[in-house]
Chains A and B, each alone.
Chain A
Amino acid sequence: TQLLEQSPQFLSIQEGENLTVYCNSSSVFSSLQWYRQEPGEGPVLLVTVVTGGEVKKLKRLTFQFGDARKDSSLHITAAQPGDTGLYLCAGATSSNTGKLIFGQGTTLQVKP
């Protein structure tokens, strides 16, 4: 069974701090995605990374795909209360099923 492990599970920080969330697996993924979910809503896609070593930036969020395509990280610079939410990583396998494997999620709370 392919698993994606996220760490940490919970993170509570003050506004302005930096943080990194990790997503690790022993499996290789053809692509990896990050989603953010707010209470009472479905997850919303933030980014897709495809190439090993790829780095993508979305304002204060930086996403990196590991060279071996087994892991990824999300770094937030100068976190704001609006960044609060559940962050999920999800990996696509190369088996052409269209399915994604989701990590358990990281709950981030940014206090003003």
Chain B
Amino acid sequence: DAGITQSPRYKITETGRQVTLMCHQTWSHSYMFWYRQDLGHGLRLIYYSAAADITDKGEVPDGYVVSRSKTENFPLTLESATRSQTSVYFCASSERVGILNYGYTFGSGTRLTVV
């Protein structure tokens, strides 16, 4: 079934290691987003992309890197993981016409633990 797929679902990594979270969507949606979800903070935008090769920072971008060489993929890399980056990470995609936002479709999330 077409959709948005995140991998891995669970990841444990050590402080200082580089880790990449993968996100793949099959609709050719223009927009893709990375959020982290933490208790007490809700969903916070890390990075987003309006199209291939176009990315921009969100609310909490420090310590993260993204790329979007293909429309369908939007990987998120933690360059040197810290314990404060322990969180649940969600990727989302959306299409948009004019000012009307058709809403996000979210992946199932990656639960990342940094020890």
Query: What residues of chain A have their CB less than 8 Å away from a CB belonging to chain B?
Result: 30-31, 33, 35, 40-45, 48, 50, 88, 90, 92, 94, 96-100, 102-105
Question: Shortest beta-carbon distance, B100 to chain A, in Å?
Answer: 6
Q: How many angstroms from the CA of A33 to the CA of B73 in the assembled complex?
A: 25
* Residue on B nearest A32 in the bound complex, by CB: B101
Residue from the list B41, B94, B99 in contact with A94, Cβ < 8 A: B99
- Which chain A residues lie closer than 8 Å to B45 at the CB level? 99
Known: A41-B109, A42-B109, A98-B96. A48 touches B43 (CB 8 A): no
**6 pairs, A vs B, C-beta closer than 8 Å:** A31-B100, A33-B101, A42-B106, A42-B109, A92-B99, A103-B42
Residue of B nearest to A101 (CB): B45
> Given the complex, which residues of A lie within 8 Å of B90, measured CB to CB?
42-43
Q: Check B74 for interface membership: any CB of A closer than 8 A.
A: no
Q: B64 on the interface (CB 8 Å rule)?
A: no
User: Which residue from chain B places its CB closest to the CB of A30 in the assembled complex?
Assistant: B99
Ranked 8 nearest A-B pairs via Cβ: A42-B106, A92-B101, A104-B42, A45-B103, A102-B43, A98-B31, A30-B99, A98-B96
Judging by beta carbons under 8 Å apart, are B103 and A48 in contact?
Answer: yes
